[in-house]
């Protein structure tokens, strides 16, 4: 993984074997970024896609593998009251198998780069966005 800051934005190139979400979080920690939004595209080899099931108050995870075209990645990073970074990421992948072309998307837990991923990380300027826990849903939301 390599990245470069131009203005207030970080441009990240991830390489084969890099973990996308972990890489973004690593940059945020090392650069002191408390909140940000990001987007990207790329080619991946595996992905853990999650769907939140409100009745259970938890995520169900499906892992997909193969040549996965990362057609859309978007998410954010926020900091809770204890200074811990949290991410909320969604992604859409397309892939082909012996039955045709398919797509899968949802909450992204993690994905591994097959060829490359190109990510734009935009820190919040002039402040930061926090995170607060919501007991009803069992998840965290933005706190201003």
Distance between CA 23 and CA 117 in Å, rounded? 11
pLDDT in tens, 86-121: 999 999 999 998 999 999 999 999 999 999 999 999
* CB-based contact 127:34 (threshold 8 Å): no
Fold of the CATH domain 2-143: 60s Ribosomal Protein L30; Chain: A; (3.30.1330)
Distance between CA 118 and CA 65 in Å, rounded? 20
Distance between CA 135 and CA 144 in Å, rounded? 18
Nearest to 88 by CA among 97, 100, 96, 79: 79
Tokens read off for 63: 């892992």
Indicate the DSSP class of residue 23. H
Lowest mean pLDDT among 8-12, 56-60, 110-114, 134-138: 134-138
* CB-based contact 86:107 (threshold 8 Å): no
Using the predicted structure, report yes or no on whether residue 52 has a pLDDT greater than 90: no
pLDDT in tens, 93-102: 999 989 999 9
Q: What is the pTM of this model?
A: 0.93
**Using only C-alpha atoms, what is the Rg of the chain?**
16
Distance between CA 120 and CA 12 in Å, rounded? 6
Using the predicted structure, report yes or no on whether residue 58 has a pLDDT greater than 90: no
């Amino acid at each position: 993984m390599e990245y470069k800051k131009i203005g207030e934005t970080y441009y990240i190139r991830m390489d084969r074997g890099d973990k996308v979400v972990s890489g973004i979080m690593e940059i945020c920690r090392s650069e002191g970024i408390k909140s940000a939004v990001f987007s990207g595209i790329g080619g991946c080899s595996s992905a853990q896609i999650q769907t939140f099931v409100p009745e259970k108050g938890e995520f169900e995870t499906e892992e997909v593998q193969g040549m996965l075209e990362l057609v859309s990645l978007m998410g954010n990073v926020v900091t809770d009251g204890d200074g811990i970074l949290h991410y909320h990421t969604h992604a859409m992948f397309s892939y082909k198998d012996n039955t045709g072309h398919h797509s899968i998307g949802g909450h992204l837990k993690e994905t591994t780069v097959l060829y490359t991923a190109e990510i734009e990380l935009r820190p919040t300027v002039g402040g930061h966005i926090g995170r607060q826990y919501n007991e009803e849903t069992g998840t965290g939301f933005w706190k201003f």
